[in-house]
Amino acid sequence: MFLGDDLLPFLVLAFGGALFVGNLLAVVRPPQRQLDDTHLERAPVARSLMFALVGLLAAVWAVASLVSG
């Protein structure tokens, strides 16, 4: 099998980590300049923090799966 038997936990770790970091950075460091009127000035804080929490949980679950077996 390509990349061994741990392909799914590695993919969950990658997507969870990206979801966590991307949404956290969207809240902490919004874009410096506005591209046009269709984009928001800031990311919605509650939704971004909820998605960051989901990404963190997925990443922790993937790390626990990789370490345990």
Q: Residue 46 is part of which domain span?
A: 7-31+41-68
User: Looking at the domain assignment, is residue 1 inside a domain?
Assistant: no
**CA end-to-end span of the chain, whole Å?**
17
Q: How does pLDDT run across 44-67, given as a tens digit for each residue?
A: 899 999 999 999 999 999 999 999
Report the chain's mean pLDDT, rounded to a whole number. 89
User: Looking at the domain assignment, is residue 27 inside a domain?
Assistant: yes
For 19-22, which contacts have Cβ atoms below 8 Å and span 24 or more sequence positions? 19/51, 19/52, 19/54, 19/55, 19/58, 20/52, 20/55, 20/56, 20/59, 21/55, 22/55
Q: Is the pLDDT reported for residue 1 higher than 70?
A: no
Number of folded domains that form the chain? 1
User: Looking at the domain assignment, is residue 17 inside a domain?
Assistant: yes
Reported pTM: 0.82
pLDDT score, position 20 = 98
User: Looking at the domain assignment, is residue 36 inside a domain?
Assistant: no
